[in-house]
Chain A
Amino acid sequence: MSDRVATARLSRAFVEALSREKNEPDWMLEHRLRCLELFEKLPMPRFGPDLSELDFSDLAYYARPVAPVRSLEELPEEIRRTFQALRLPEAEQKALAGLGAQVDSEVVYRSLLEKVRAQGVIFASMDQAVRDYPWIREYFMKVIPPEDNKFAALHGAVWSGGTFIWIPPGVEVAVPLQSYYRMQTERVGQFEHTLIIAEPGSSVHYIEGCSAPRYTRAALHSGMVEIIAKEGAKVRFTTIQNWSKNVYNLNNKRAWVYAEAAVDWVSGSLGSKVTMLYPTSVLLGPGASTENLSFTFAQEGMWLDAGARAIHKAPHTTSRLVSRSVVQGSGVSVFRGTIRVEEPARGAKAHMECSTLLLSPQARSETIPLLRTETDDVEVGHEATVGRVSQEQLFYLMSRGLDESQALSLIVNGFVSPILKEIPLEYAVELRGLLEMSFEKAVG
């Protein structure tokens, strides 16, 4: 069983078998089948990167190459090495409240500190949670309904694995919870579902890391994240993705933010062939707030289409969207930022700031801000800059004895520092390492 690889094509029969295998309640099977129908009807996205090479008939919609393990030591060598590089085993002991790991379609490892469990916190695989907590039905894919877009519908039909987090009222989880997602099998599709419900007055920081070995054929990652932050709750959601350059990374992430609650999205996108990622916060109650900090590093042959959306629906809500993009080689970086202030959102404040640094003559970037306000009583600000590393800066740093790649890496690190300082240390270190490595290659 441990080395078993199960793969399957997309069909009604497959969806039924998947649901049966997972021993799901009937409502979930019905949901999946409705999603499958929607997927077949809905059009491909009408904006953004070219997805024509993504062949839905050439993907494995389910794979389970690794059996569940009880300790990180039992994980396959390659994954263990990745974890060690990120110092996750150490972090699990010292700096995390809980750690989960998913390989392809199934969660293979999960731990939660006893004292956090005793507070009533639930940190479970999504599959398990659907079986154990019938009330999840009221929340599952309510924040992002399958009608929203083709990939939301696909996700709803074939989702597997992922994380369910429930924080009881007033409970503050002091140290982060973390999950790591690995795509291991060639041309696999990974569709993990993450649902976080933070009850009134609670707080949690959740971190996702992602990676995959490189194959020539395309693979698809289409996860979904739904966050419900109730009155006064605080949720921070950090994702660092370093998918290999054959992965289409097309995600849906959205939060409902109730009165006086805060949801912060922190995203570092370093890998993938194509990424489409627009974490969205819907500010539903008075005083709700959101921050969205995004860093993208589009390298040779990559198209990173990222952005952020803040929808203000209540008075005195605030949003701050900050993006830093670095583009190298023939990379493409697009930032789509949407701020919508609806009529009831009097006294709202919104700020959007996106800067792009182009490292090569072929590098391309575009910034597409969309600001719409339906009330006059609002403060909205927007700044955008696109620049290149100036010869004067490079010469200046080199005249102090730094070589070209050190100088370049210092300039780029400085440029992304407003985001980098918000990223957990281990990932920030990995990220700096990746940046430096790619400059050494670029400079030769």
Chain B
Amino acid sequence: MPTLVVEDLHVNVEGKPILRGVDLELERGQVHALMGRNGSGKSTLALALAGHPNYQVTRGRALLDGVDLLALTPFHRARQGLFLAMQHPPEVEGVSLREFLRLACSERGQGFCEFHKHYPSAVAKLAMEGLDSRGLNVGFSGGEKKRSELLQLYLLRPKVALLDEPDSGVDVDALRLIAGAIRDLAQSGTAVLIITHYPRILDHVPPQSVFVLEDGRVAERGGYELAHRIAEEGFEEVLR
């Protein structure tokens, strides 16, 4: 039984239909990739699942371990175990990543001691030393923002992790750190969905399954080899 089941999901943005019946399943402990051209609806799927108020679900279901996420507020979805690592996380002045994470972890039932046991090694793993006491995302470079998202993901240990372009704007070294954290996460049981239009990251985190989104629907699905075909032939050819 998959951890996350999305069925016939339709989503409008400002009254305009963007998703037109998405079906996909994410399995516990597995890495999945969601690929597709710019504008195919990849980020819309992630934001709609997380409950962003600008994304109106007009039809469909999304079940996390049998619980209908779409009936819940964004924070209840998070407390059910959903996590979205954002493509462009906003800056929050005066709130340190450390303080914020301590609060978020305690909401998820992690005590003070548990948090402090995991925190230093997670910070070291993602090379976030020194950044975690500054304002959240304030003045972070593109790569630092991605690592900050990964650090949050790593400590909150969700059941389902959606990563919206975790590889955009990061250098090779940061990509390795990020890929390593994602592999760890999957090994510990999280169902991971990597959203990307560029297969490079998948060389570091080979996915078990690949979905290709086109025009608001999953147009193609397959294994890791599908990502290779896209890398070699391009979306145009694969979707033909």
Please indicate the chain A residues that have their CB under 8 angstroms from the CB of B50 in the complex.
395, 399
> Min CB distance, B81 to chain A, in Å?
10
0/1 string, B63-75, CB within 8 A of A gives 1: 0000000000111
| Count of chain B residues with a beta carbon within 8 Å of a chain A beta carbon | 29
Assess whether B94 is in contact with A399, with CB atoms less than 8 Å apart. Answer: no
Given A410-B103, A414-B135, answer yes or no on A399-B92 (Cβ-Cβ < 8 Å).
no
Give the residue name and chain of the A residue nearest to B101 (CB). Answer: A400
Give Cα A243 to B24, complex, Å.
57
* Chain A, range 387-443, C-beta contacts under 8 Å to B: 390-393, 395-404, 406-407, 410-411, 413-418
Assess whether B78 is in contact with A401, with CB atoms less than 8 Å apart. Answer: yes
Assess whether A410 is in contact with B100, with CB atoms less than 8 Å apart. Answer: yes
Please indicate the chain B residues that have their CB under 8 angstroms from the CB of A402 in the complex.
75, 103-104, 107
Given A398-B74, A399-B74, A404-B75, answer yes or no on A411-B107 (Cβ-Cβ < 8 Å).
no
Is the CB of B51 closer than 8 A to any CB of chain A?
yes
Assess whether B92 is in contact with A393, with CB atoms less than 8 Å apart. Answer: yes
Give Cα A406 to B106, complex, Å.
12
Assess whether B92 is in contact with A410, with CB atoms less than 8 Å apart. Answer: yes
| Count of chain A residues with a beta carbon within 8 Å of a chain B beta carbon | 24
Please indicate the chain A residues that have their CB under 8 angstroms from the CB of B94 in the complex.
413-418
> Min CB distance, A381 to chain B, in Å?
19
Give the residue name and chain of the A residue nearest to B107 (CB). Answer: A401
* Chain B, range 86-113, C-beta contacts under 8 Å to A: 86, 89-90, 92-95, 100, 103-104, 107-108
> Min CB distance, B106 to chain A, in Å?
10
Assess whether A399 is in contact with B93, with CB atoms less than 8 Å apart. Answer: no
Give Cα A377 to B100, complex, Å.
44
Give Cα A399 to B92, complex, Å.
14
Give Cα A415 to B84, complex, Å.
25
A-B contact pairs, 7 of them (CB 8 A): A393-B92, A395-B74, A398-B78, A399-B77, A403-B75, A407-B75, A411-B95
Q: Which residues of B are interface residues toward A (Cβ below 8 A)?
A: 50-54, 73-75, 77-79, 83-84, 86, 89-90, 92-95, 100, 103-104, 107-108, 135-136, 152, 156
Given A395-B52, A400-B78, A403-B73; 7 other pairs, CB 8 A cutoff: A398-B75, A399-B51, A399-B86, A400-B75, A401-B156, A410-B95, A416-B94
